[in-house]
Homo-oligomer: A and B are copies of this chain.
């Protein structure tokens, strides 16, 4: 055996350093989503060179322990073996259904609003994640200095400054919208309502993902939902959709291609392109809900299906409710060739969107505050999703499956077949925990043994306790 060379010694040093970090991760001292010590800090702590630390971190990255995030450092990665398996792609029966679980949905959300409850049901970011102070300062400013404009109607298409800001951002998601392409709305919910009514009538069939948050179809719009099998990672099954369209008279599609609620799946860009082309050939409008699009955990924002739309058949809808201020009720739609109808329906639904909230949001976007905020928000939500995932693994019964969302902040949890999620939901309410039971995500009330967990709240002991309780109620011994 030869004496180790200098290079070997270095190798030894970086492997040693990597092992130490790996141990910290294995023991849970460093948790998935947390940042590992900075290169400089570890170099000081272990008295090794910067380049040795970097080698150690690259090794850990290769081994799947950590991941690099641009301009931000290395983070503990959630490894597949840490996780329960994923749910299988959905397989709904392929016939359209009249939508009607209104009462259940109403009850679920009533309970979810009780401030004494641990809120795992509603997909709302916790108060510490919202840019409350800077945004409200802008609101106070516009109220004081742009008050005359503020008390008056900002008729459809809505606030010009806001539309300009949204149009500028559209490059991020592969579009090049102009302010004139956009109509502002009272949140995404109104946008979806207007778009649905612009392209379909009561009784018409709308293809949707399964599972999905299809509450909108209930809005006494009287439309029929056709549930299409959907993969928990790649989104809607395009073959199944094409078959369904051939068999049924589908008037429109209503999809959440980026970070579907509740699956968290994100359609690959190529799938989006195929989807838009397939629907375009048949002149079927696609209503695209992109409300979670800005909350991606990866390196780049996913494109929208709208990016591939040449026919004006994609009606893109989004808002600022999941990112900065649900209570401002500011959303928008770029409804393509249906803009005149959408604009008119907007006049007849709420006349206009509240003026001052639109002005405040426009200024927040213009100032760069929104981008700075999004960077923090994405990191925080990615971490919270990982935390809840790990807790489910730890506290839920054998046989539980869970999604791997790459954005958004909801988890779709498949419990053992024996668990009735409605019963679990009721038992959880007794313990002051609100969850969203699976059947509200299906027009046919499938998903009896699924629940959706929102990860909007910052991690806390009481949240961990609530997940432990849920696991026990679901049958964990």
Contact = CB atoms under 8 A, between A and B. Distances in A.
Interface string A140-154: 110110011111111
A327 B352 CA distance: 8
A443 to B, nearest CB: 14
Contacts of A189: 348-351
A163 to B, nearest CB: 15
A455 interface: no
Interface stretch (A124-132, A282-290, A306-314): A124-132
A219 B326 contact: no
B220 A345 contact: yes
Contact of A328 (B127, B151, B155, B321): B151
A400 to B, nearest CB: 30
Contacts of A152: 124, 127, 130, 325-327
Given A136-B151, A144-B136, A150-B139, A329 B344 contact: no
A144 B143 CA distance: 11
A324 interface: yes
Interface string A207-226: 00000000110111010000
A349 B140 contact: no
A91 interface: no
Nearest to A319: B351
Q: A148, A215, A329, A340: which has the most chain B beta carbons within 10 Å?
A: A329
A40 interface: no
A132 B155 contact: no
B327 A109 contact: no
Interface string A156-176: 000000000000000000000
B327 A354 contact: yes
Give the interface SS of chain A, mostly helix, strand, loop or mixed: helix
How large, as a class, is the contact surface on chain A?
A: 35 or more
B354 A151 contact: no
Given A136-B143, A327-B354, A354-B327, A347 B222 contact: no
Contacts of A186: 186, 329, 350-351, 354
Interface string A36-67: 00000000000000000000000000000000
Contacts of A347: 106, 109, 215
Nearest to A141: B140
A327 B356 contact: yes
A139 B102 contact: no
Nearest to A149: B327
Tally of this chain's copies:
2
Contacts of A472: none
A389 interface: no
Contact of A139 (B132, B139, B344, B349): B139
B356 A139 contact: yes
Given A219-B345, A222-B202, A329-B351, A133 B147 contact: yes
A253 to B, nearest CB: 19
A137 interface: yes
Contact of A350 (B215, B350, B352): B350
Contact of A150 (B136, B197, B219, B344): B136
A349 B143 contact: no
A151 B130 contact: yes
A76 interface: no
A113 interface: yes
B124 A151 contact: no
Contact of A143 (B143, B201, B329): B143
B349 A329 contact: no
Q: A113, A130, A143: which has the most chain B beta carbons within 10 Å?
A: A143
Contacts of A327: 149-154, 352, 354-356
Interface of A: 102, 105-106, 109, 113, 124, 127, 130, 132-133, 135-137, 139-141, 143-144, 147-155, 186-187, 189-190, 193, 197-198, 201-202, 215-216, 218-220, 222, 321, 324-329, 340, 343-345, 347-357
